[in-house]
Structure 1
Amino acid sequence: MRIGNNPEKTANNLVVENYHRIVIPVYIPNFEGYFEQAFEVFRLCLESILLTIHEKTRITIYNNNSNDIIKNYLDSKYEESKFIDQVFHSKENLGKINAILAAVKGNLEPIVTITDADVLFKQNWQSEVEVILKNFPQAGMVSPVPSSIAFNNRTANNWIYALFRGKLFFGSVIDPLGLQRLDDSLGNEIKFYKKVHLEKYLILKNKSNNQEAVMGCGHFVATIRREVFDKGTAEPAFIKIQKGVEGKFIDLPNEELGFLRLATKNNLAYHMGNRTEKWMYEEFELLKTIKPNVSIDYNDLKSSIRFNFIQMKIGRLISRILAKKTFRDIFFKYKGLSNSEITEY
């Protein structure tokens, strides 16, 4: 039986007071072996976010069946911080992508930052990625962590932009230590970055406003227009991690929708891995001494521009050509690299 009318039926319009959503999937099942220091790493991650975000930001944390200590910690942070307005607890680990999709689909913010639970954020990361989104309305994905080797990874639209609207050139890496720390945090025997990668990266410039950004980016932390999730694939992910699952649900939709893939020139976040180090605490202490920049005008982020199908096909053709070493070497020489740098790059 129903008595009376639900008052919500007359309040149909939802008002979005915030415009930037941060989504953090976390999975810490125990504190042994690989996960021995995972709680402390995650604590540094979350606290660094809270110290660096502006007032128009809200945070969703998706607990992928972590242990009870993590669950209780998340509940206490939810009660403590106004920025953390959503904490979801799953009794089954549904994987990173499904956690992200569940969080994004249930919210209205026009831009969403997805981040692993082992990222240490620096001051101004948010303002710098938002400025790039403002000054590159064609950008759909911007990371606060630049990469010298991501210039031809799902960046077809970047090439067409460089050809007709922008300028492409090699610039000096602002923070080589940041790139080195990323490499070290991955624990690989063979490092990603060679000496030249720590010295130079490809920069895309918007000639109309002189905004510059690094070509390409990874996806362990990235700020993404919600259209990428809304109009990307609608199916769930049946793989928790690896095997290209993030590429299928994030990288490919961003490219197929006609968006650019960029990164900030400065390194504004660190991938910590699963172990803490002294420098992480030193960086964290610096966050307490600086107030985050104020948010930009929300209206500056509302409109996005996409490349059409023909333009994307041209961009992909350029990308395939530059994937061949002979053509890539010619292009790099034209852009100013020396013969020895070309060999190493």
Structure 2
Amino acid sequence: MRAITQKTFGGPEVLELTGDAPRPVPGPTQVLVRVRATSVNPVELFVRSGAFPLLGEPPFVLGWDVSGVVEEADPGVHRFAVGDEVYGLPYFPAAAGANAEYVVAPARQLARKPAGISHEEAAALPLVGLTAWHALAEIAQVQPGQRVLVHGAGGGLGHVAVQIAKHLGAEVVGTASAGKHAFLRGLGADRLIDYRTEDYAQVLRDEPVDVVLETLGGGNAERSFGVLRPGGLLVTAVERLSTTLPQLAAAAGVRFAAVGVEPDAAGLAELTALVEAGRLKVHVQQAFPLEKLSDAHALLAAGGVQGKLAISV
């Protein structure tokens, strides 16, 4: 099968197309998925470069988000049949090898692909969608009428989080460049702050929020403590291992939590229901063919992507 492999850490140029990668074989409880699309997330850039050696030393095949069609199924699998369209985030954070024509995955780590959207849109959803769902619906337990601040609201995680927060009944504030404001208003954002010209800490000083979803890092969590109501909650997707942030949060009279993401068929089912009800739209700025995966990595690294980048396989 075709797959994108890398033999060393480095920039996007280390991603190489091979046409003779071994096709995986499903084992007990597993299905073989003919991949129709995958997507690119920031974590893959860090793994590729070696900054976050999640998969150990190369060689390996990157990729987790997947949407495709079941081609084979173990006899013990009853959730899906050959020909079913499925999507998911298999094995994360272990290797899944989604940047390839075929992927093997446990059946209970997949869900039926949402009806009415493309494989590219479906593949753009699992990692960011599950992260946002875990953070806002499960950890923060956002309630109607609360105010939620989403940092990086125009990005992959951010634009999904805005919609999930709205679904949960929140008033949503987002930080994003001015060029993304119209897009975000269309997704339901109530108030937008241009981080290039405005200081959100000053803007929200007298209008505190109940929940902050922090997606940026670089000291942003510490500054965000100041815009929370007493007892409010900051959930970070980027500084999960910090030992100082919990202490700083306690000193500021607010709460701190980290969100991780994992394969979750129940969470995927929640996302599917939102998509099919028209309450959640996945925006794909651009779809690249598999052989141009390195171009997608370079574009994401350059910053400014609106929504997600997908890979057609």
The TM-score with structure 2 as length reference comes to 0.26
Give the structure, 1 or 2, with the largest relative contact order (CA under 8 Å, sep 6 or more): 1
Q: Which has the higher strand share?
A: 2
After TM superposition, the score normalised by the length of structure 1 is: 0.24
Instruction: State the structure with more CA Rg.
Output: 1
